[in-house]
Amino acid sequence: MAKIAFLLAGGFEDSEMINPYEAIKEAGHEAVIIGLEKGVECPGKQGTVSYTAELGAADANGSDFAGVVIPGGGAPEALRVNEDVVRFVKELNEQGKLISGICHGPQVMISADVLKGKEATSYIGIRDDIKLAGAIYKDEEVVVGENIVTSRTPADEPAFIREILAKLS
């Protein structure tokens, strides 16, 4: 059983959190929601769901987790400017652990400077940012580049979840 972090702030894309979160728990792994501060409520962009941060980013330690999932929507924009979030993602990368993001989720990876030389995808609106971060951009439903797993949109969630679970097995 692996312990997986979910990086979350308000405005995330609802299904991009709900579906991977439930799939990871159903597979027997532990899912921990990390927010900007512990106890902060994080409502989804579509208003169908809300989660409470179980751990603040300042208290998150990469060595305590097997990987991270970063849902898209508006949340990555708030997460990527937080030094503790960036540090946490860098720690996971240095340890060769899973870093996964869908839609706008890779914005956090860009800020953590973990995409250089790796294959990745994203929502088309941040495609150029992915390329400028040094990644090899691919317009595919899911792209696995070493320890990085990325997808484009909610339509790609089944492939995204499949590859995350494969990395954890």
> Tokens 């989720």 belong to which residue?
105
How far is it, in rounded angstroms, from Cα 122 to Cα 157? Answer: 12
Instruction: Tell me, yes or no, if 104 is annotated catalytic.
Output: yes
- Of 8, 17, 68, 103, catalytic: 103
Strands (E), 16-95: 30-35, 41-43, 50-52, 55-56, 67-70
Instruction: Tell me, yes or no, if 42 is annotated catalytic.
Output: no
**How many CA atoms are closer than 13 Å to the CA of 154, on its beta-carbon side?**
10
Q: Dihedral angle at the C-alpha atoms of 14, 17, 22, 23, nearest 10 degrees?
A: 120
- Of 29, 45, 104, 152, catalytic: 104
Give the active site residues.
103-104
